[in-house]
């Protein structure tokens, strides 16, 4: 269940999650890196070498998964190679970059909570 946070709660939760992931993966992850990890998780084929176009597809998969929490996308199913495909249910309203960042960070935190990883 999506939990709407105020900005201070979001900042605190985000820093805690990033610190946890950086420790777990021994890396310095930012929002884009975390979205990539979610894409790999959602694809379910584990860590491996991905071609550039596959990396872009993984980011798209993760973004759709994250925005599905707000009702923007619905999972249509998997293709013959096991890649998920999403259907746009409603267009996102115009947002500033800061608003997009806030929305994605909020969705990422809830994603990891739902997975039992945060």
Residue 105 near residue 14 (C-beta atoms within 8 A) = yes
Tokens for 20, please give them: 């946890």
User: Using one digit for the tens of pLDDT, what is the confidence trace for 107-118?
Assistant: 999 999 999 988
Can you tell me whether residue 74 is helix, strand or coil? strand
What is the chain's length? 118
User: Using one digit for the tens of pLDDT, what is the confidence trace for 53-106?
Assistant: 999 999 999 999 999 999 999 999 999 999 999 999 999 999 999 999 999 999
Tokens for 69, please give them: 């929490």
pTM for the whole thing?
Answer: 0.90
Q: So where are the chain's domains?
A: 7-114
């Amino acid at each position: 269940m999506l939990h709407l946070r105020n900005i201070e709660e979001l900042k605190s939760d985000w820093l805690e999650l990033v610190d946890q992931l950086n420790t777990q993966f021994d890396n310095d992850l930012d929002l884009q890196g975390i979205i990539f990890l979610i894409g790999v998780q959602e694809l379910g084929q584990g860590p491996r070498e991905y071609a550039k176009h596959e990396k872009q597809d993984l980011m798209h998969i993760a973004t759709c998964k994250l925005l599905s929490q707000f009702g923007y996308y619905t999972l249509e199913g998997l293709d013959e190679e096991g890649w998920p495909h999403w259907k746009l249910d409603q267009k996102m309203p115009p947002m500033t970059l800061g608003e997009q960042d806030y929305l994605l960070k909020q969705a990422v935190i809830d994603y990891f909570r739902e997975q039992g990883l945060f």
